[in-house]
Amino acid sequence: MPRTVALLGFGTIGQEIARAIDDGTISSSLGAIYDNQPDRVEERIRQFSVEPRIVTEMHQLTASADLIVEAAGQSAVKEYAVSVLESGCDLMLLSVGALADADLWKHLSTTAERTGASIYAPSGAIAGIDAIKAASRVGALDSVSLTTIKNPSSFEGAPYLDTLDYQVQSLSEPRVVFEGTATDAAAAFPSNINVAVILSLAGLGTDRTRVRIVADPNEKSNVHQLDATGRTGTIETTVRNVPSPNNPKTSYLAPGSVIEKLQDLESTFHIGT
């Protein structure tokens, strides 16, 4: 059944979702847009046949729709997600890295249970989530690891870079810049590693999912390599995503995942786990 969707955040992914609604790819209607830079939104919505409404208060956003799509970063999840669920609106999260905070995840879960709202987390730019979910549900996962390889430019602004004794942008060859749990990776690279947390939620959890991040100055793709073992066998996937020309931190596949999820909510035939 078509939904009324509102967007929390109007960057690269938010614009792609709005475009898919505007051109009819998604049957849902667009209620409103909330962004911390409303002037930027006013300029960007001119491309659409029907200009969406811009709101400046969260209660206006939740009043305009029954499903809020968050595409604004981890800080927005921490600030607004609970109030969205409190309003009774369903919530689709793109910045799932915020859920590495166990207390926040528990708060969101209990709020959703109390209000009857649903939380959706699309697969994003990684493959193999269905297989990981299936193996996890039958207790057949022993280990899960993710190796992410990106051009150093994709890591610009990541807090973890300030702790290194070298400049990632000056690398002339591939170098491992981080190894640790998905919990730590989400805090270290909040704009780059949402895939690690969605993988963790599907499988063994953020503390038992290992993450390795490689900066490669010769790499033009955003690469995600998944390796998992267990009683069901071995799961291995590699995705070489083309980065968005407007934001190298975002892969083209990420907005496609959200659009597919929105289409699935409208459909009577559902593919995948």
So which residues are the catalytic ones?
Answer: 224
Identify the pLDDT of residue 253: 87
pLDDT of residue 228: 98
Compute the distance between CA of residue 91 and CA of residue 66 in angstroms, rounded to an integer: 9
pLDDT confidence band for 244 (50 / 70 / 90): confident
Q: Which helix (H) or strand (E) holds 230?
A: strand 222-230
pLDDT, position 17: 95
pTM: 0.93
Other Cβ atoms less than 10 A from the Cβ of 211: the count is: 27
- Does the pLDDT of residue 249 top 90, yes or no? no
User: What are the tens digits of pLDDT across the range 181-233?
Assistant: 999 999 999 888 899 999 999 999 999 999 999 999 999 999 999 999 999 99
Structural domains in the chain?
4-124+253-266 (3.40.50.720), 129-245 (3.30.360.10)
Q: If pLDDT is split at 50, 70 and 90, which confidence band does 2 have?
A: confident
SS3 content of the chain, % helix, strand, coil (to 5): 40, 25, 35
Q: How confident is residue 243, by pLDDT bands cut at 50, 70 and 90?
A: confident
Q: What is the pLDDT of residues 112-168, one digit of tens each?
A: 999 999 999 999 989 999 999 999 999 889 999 999 999 999 998 999 999 999 999
**pLDDT single digits (tens) 64-120:** 999 999 999 999 999 999 999 999 999 999 999 999 999 999 999 999 999 999 999
Element (H, E) at 226: strand 222-230
Report residue 273's pLDDT band, with 50, 70 and 90 as the boundaries. Answer: confident
pLDDT at 238 over 90: yes
Output the pLDDT for position 200. Answer: 97
Q: Is 194 annotated as a binding residue?
A: yes
pLDDT at 226: 98
pLDDT at 9 over 80: yes
pLDDT at 240: 96
Q: Is 121 annotated as a binding residue?
A: no
Residue 157 neighbours by CB distance under 10 Å = 11
The DSSP secondary structure of 129-140, one letter per residue, reads HHHHHHHHHTT-
Query: Is the distance from CB of 104 to CB of 23 less than 8 angstroms?
Result: no
Q: How far apart are CA 228 and CA 141, in angstroms?
A: 7
Q: Report pLDDT for 250.
A: 79
